[in-house]
Amino acid sequence: MPSLRDFLAYGAGAILIFFGLIFLIASSYNPSRVVPGFAMLLLGGAAIYANMMVKRAQVSEELLEAKVIRLARRKGGYVTVADVAADLNLPVDTAKQVLERLERKGLAFLDFKRIGDEGVEVYRILGTGSDEES
């Protein structure tokens, strides 16, 4: 469902485009209205485009998080940054950011016992079937 932010962005964009068209039509009588008309058209289009790009970025972040959770299920609930980077074909810094985002959401946490055993950061992903082992 669209959020209030979406409604505001699309509404503001549509209003700017509408008034931009009005100004362009009015420029046939007063040529000084051409520049504000084009400016409003560009701003309205930019507002709509920017909102669409933000939504697309959010969807891709959620998709990556879901892929990490599926990977953790296959690996018994535990993954490392290297696991995520290799299995999902991501740069290491992107893999670390996804795991840290899951950690901030409370869906993952660092397992310090395994970190001591393996020598690398091991993340335990909650809800993957490994919860009973604790």
Q: Which pLDDT belongs to residue 130?
A: 52
User: What mean pLDDT, rounded, does the chain reach?
Assistant: 88
Assessment of whether the complete model's pTM goes beyond 0.85 = no
CATH number at residue 32: 1.10.10.10
For the chain, the domain total comes to: 1
Q: For every residue of the chain, which 3-state class applies, written as one string?
A: CCCHHHHHHHHHHHHHHHHHHHHHHHCCCCHHHHHHHHHHHHHHHHHHHHHHHHHHHHHHHHHHHHHHHHHHHHCCCEEEHHHHHHHHCCCHHHHHHHHHHHHHCCCEEECHHHHHHHCCCEEEECCCCCHHHC
Percent of the chain with pLDDT over 70: 94
Could you tell me the residue range of the domain that residue 100 belongs to? 4-133
